[in-house]
Amino acid sequence: MIFVKLFSRLPFFFIHFLSYSISFFMGSILRYRRSQIMQNLKIAFPEKSHLERKKLLFQFYLNLTDVGFEAIKSYSMTREQMLKRFKITNPEKMEEHIKNNEPFLLLAGHITNWEWQLSGYASQLDFGFGGVYKPLSSKFTDTLMLDIRANFGGYPIPMAKTMREILVRMKRKKMFSFGLVADQSPPGYDKKREWVQFFGRETAFFSGPEIITQMTKMPVYYAHISRTKRGHYEGQIIPVFQAGEEYVKGSSQVTKKYAALLEKNIKESPADWLWSHNRWKYTRDEVENK
């Protein structure tokens, strides 16, 4: 852990130079999940040529290594440094909820620097901003990521305890907000999933956001992210479900809007999503007939 802390104090130009080197190694020598990435890119962008998708492939590796090294770098960053590098373009929406002591949920995706989303929002809120996470198998890596994600007042919440944490905090009637990266595929043949259109295919999403919205009726936003230049990002929250809006049980209305906003975000920076994940592993028939 000491080595990681020392590494995090290196200047950004060195961090990014190292990221270039590692991304080249991953793409050209290690060929990390190369076939899976190319397959996903073909599904999402059938109109692009093989050469265009190959260019996206190598840009993907660079974004992936940038995310990893910038996450470590944030370990030693001050709140002021994070505020300069992660700007929220419409903070007034959050300020309105804070003024009314109204909890809200942010749904993010594994796009651009998703690791800085928790830190970026936490650095600009004067109350604990919760980030839902799935515990990692490596104890060292899990502890490291928890420490990084707890920076600037953020607090990581295990996925299995999300609903309980929300209900406890709502009962206390104290201001809180949660961030949830909700674009990974539900594991195995678990039938608790929402099926919606995503890049022209019926795709399974976790049912968590629907369950939370149905039970709490709390406002839900999509956390859009874009890179303004290397190591600098902008966040924008876009309404998905608002207080007073009717929620129709079984409609997947939150997941549908989230998936559409995520797809739009990906199309704006197509190399920056986590294409190495096997997103279309199962079809609805395979799950329901298992």
pTM as predicted: 0.93
Question: Model confidence at 152, in pLDDT bands (50, 70, 90)?
Answer: confident
Question: Model confidence at 161, in pLDDT bands (50, 70, 90)?
Answer: confident
Residue 59 is predicted with a pLDDT of 98
Domain borders along the chain are: 2-285
Residue 190 is predicted with a pLDDT of 65
Question: Model confidence at 142, in pLDDT bands (50, 70, 90)?
Answer: confident
The share of the chain scoring above pLDDT 90, in percent, equals: 68
For 41-60, what is each residue's pLDDT tens digit?
Answer: 999 999 999 999 999 999 99
The mean pLDDT value for 171-180 works out to: 88
Residue 86 is predicted with a pLDDT of 96
The mean pLDDT value for 118-139 works out to: 83
Task: Count CA atoms closer than 13 A to 184's CA, side-chain side.
Answer: 13
d(CA 269, CA 275): 12
Contacts of 115 (CB under 8 A, 6+ apart): 67, 68, 70, 71, 74, 148, 149
Residue 289 is predicted with a pLDDT of 78
For 203-225, what is each residue's pLDDT tens digit?
Answer: 999 999 999 999 999 999 999 99
Helix H, strand E, coil C: the string for 232-274 is EEEEEEEEEECCCCCCCCCCCHHHHHHHHHHHHHHHHCCCCEC
Distance of CA 96 to the CA centre of its chain: 24
Contacts of 269 (CB under 8 A, 6+ apart): 111, 112, 226, 227
Q: When comparing pLDDT for 145 and 228, which is higher? A: 228
| pLDDT value at 160 more than 90 | no
Question: Model confidence at 235, in pLDDT bands (50, 70, 90)?
Answer: very high
Q: Give me the residue label for tokens 């594991």.
A: 187
| pLDDT value at 234 more than 90 | yes
The mean pLDDT value for 74-82 works out to: 93
